[in-house]
Structure 1
């Protein structure tokens, strides 16, 4: 396992981060603990969760897993999503953040969260309000660093500017979606992260399973996120995504590599990526992703794989400049 520094924090994390969205849902407690143990055996010290995963159950299970090794673990969780039916039980208001950080700390059985992500952008709450709440939590020692997940580059940049101007704790890590068929992060988010020295942990390297080898234009499994969950089915609905999966599957078959392993290796090979988040329903799926650690992703291989999908247009749409 290789370890990388998260931005300017000095914190060293494994190049793979394990995401616990399956805990308490697709993976029961025993299965979750087995996967946690396997991750630790592989050298993973970085674990990602969220208060909304399985309505808090994922945090509870992860809290049990890290009980005897908390100081060896770099831990993240998130706040934003609805945690009840009350109109204020959601968003990034100071009220919601202050309530939910206490709930997360209790469920995780810890006294601090290493990286605390705002899970989505909140159009109802001024950034200053959110950033001041996060700054207070850092001062109190309940979080070490704030981060942002699913924010656009302009939103992250604006927040960094406000934090600098008001001398507040700034985002030190971001969490965008990134995989072979969802490459929008390459346009502005990843360059921003490199420029501002932000840590980056990317999620969904398998595209909800699309790049696992089980999907294609004429290939569908009996079960899986793209079959069972409308959110993922809609996200990857375009036929072009399945055409990319066909080309990617063929590429992997020619080289005798498991598609899941190569998809993860490709995502974590981007120079701006600190760690790629992997997830699994069971130990068998986990092993496929862990195989990424055994692959040597050369620049030539990365270019070949990238050519299998559509490279997003540059931020200015001056496509001719990419040819210079």
Structure 2
């Protein structure tokens, strides 16, 4: 397993990490993803650790805390062997104190996560979504308090826009508080919007990308293609309403390229899709998820080899889309491009 620095921090994380949204799954979204119990979760953790995957990602909102509880049981007795990342901020109930990132809510949420996880600290705490009702000074000041108390080692965000990240960094600098070092983002061969603003921002501001849904919400598993509609048992039937949209022709164009490269490399479609992501700038770790041992072992096969330059070019060409303004002229006009060369 390759280990990489998380942004500008000193923390080294594995190139692949494991997402535990399938642990204790319940409800219309997480129940469709999977519902691994403590025994199954412990086996998944065993396989990950054997492969060098030491970072496990969860969130308080995953099955209303059940994912954290099951993960805590699965790592019991070996906390010093793993890194734990969790997220908070999304609603956990309908009460006024059940959502957001106010000082009161954030401290209470972290303490609840620690109890469920059975630990005294989390290695990475990420704000799950931007909370417009909480001043950025309050959020960053609270993160500083939690880090100083030893309950959090490093802080990051998820699903933030560029200006929201930059405002938080500027406030941290102004007060001498710890800066954000991670951004958990959606990024895949059928979802490359991350590259337009957030990737160059991450490179400039020292934020490592923790990539979620690298297989495009299950569309790049190799089970879907031009002549292969969504299988009857696929979770996409229940969860597609939550998925980032993708135009059908674009999806099939990417799948065609993936299948061609997979045949050329004797790898699976998911392995090729994940390996492509591991080459991208700012990517610190790609979060893989699995309902079964077979899926997990297949995803772990995405490391230990490299795509050729021609294979990367094939995937790049099939998946590329023109970004929206103001990025368009920098792609279309030589004069603009000369002033601001593309990061990728």
Range into which the TM-score falls when normalised by the shorter chain: over 0.9
Aligned with 1:249 (options 245, 259, 266): 259
Q: Corresponding residue for 2:31?
A: none
1:228 aligns with 2:242: no
What's the CA shift for 1:321? 4.4
What's the CA shift for 1:200? 1.7
What's the CA shift for 1:254? 4.5
| Count of residue pairs the alignment pairs up | 323
What is the alpha-carbon distance in structure 1 between the residues aligned to residue 83 and residue 197 of structure 2? 27
Q: Corresponding residue for 1:320?
A: 332
Q: Corresponding residue for 1:119?
A: 128
What's the CA shift for 1:135? 1.1
What is the alpha-carbon distance in structure 2 between the residues aligned to residue 254 and residue 302 of structure 1? 12
The answer on whether the counterparts of 1:6 and 1:13 sit within 8 Å (CA) in structure 2 is: yes
Equivalent residue runs for 1:250-265 within 5 Å: 250-265=260-275
TM-score by length of 2: 0.89
What's the CA shift for 1:85? 2.4
- More off after superposition, 25-34 vs 246-255: 246-255
What is the alpha-carbon distance in structure 1 between the residues aligned to residue 72 and residue 178 of structure 2? 26
Q: Corresponding residue for 1:131?
A: 140
The answer on whether the counterparts of 2:222 and 2:270 sit within 8 Å (CA) in structure 1 is: yes
What is the alpha-carbon distance in structure 2 between the residues aligned to residue 225 and residue 16 of structure 1? 23
**Alpha-carbon deviations, 1:242-300, whole Å to 9, x = none?**
32224423442344320011111111111311111100111111111111013313343
- State the SS of the aligned residue for 2:267: coil
TM-score by length of 1: 0.94
- Runs (5+) with no aligned partner, structure 1: none
What's the CA shift for 1:163? 1.0
What's the CA shift for 1:172? 1.2
The answer on whether the counterparts of 1:17 and 1:276 sit within 8 Å (CA) in structure 2 is: yes
**Alpha-carbon deviations, 1:38-77, whole Å to 9, x = none?**
0011011111110111111110111112222212211110
What is the alpha-carbon distance in structure 1 between the residues aligned to residue 318 and residue 14 of structure 2? 28
Q: Corresponding residue for 2:151?
A: 142
The answer on whether the counterparts of 1:203 and 1:278 sit within 8 Å (CA) in structure 2 is: yes
> Runs of at least 4 residues of structure 1 off by over 6 A?
none
What is the alpha-carbon distance in structure 1 between the residues aligned to residue 279 and residue 16 of structure 2? 11
**Alpha-carbon deviations, 1:218-261, whole Å to 9, x = none?**
421112332221434x5235213432224423442344320011
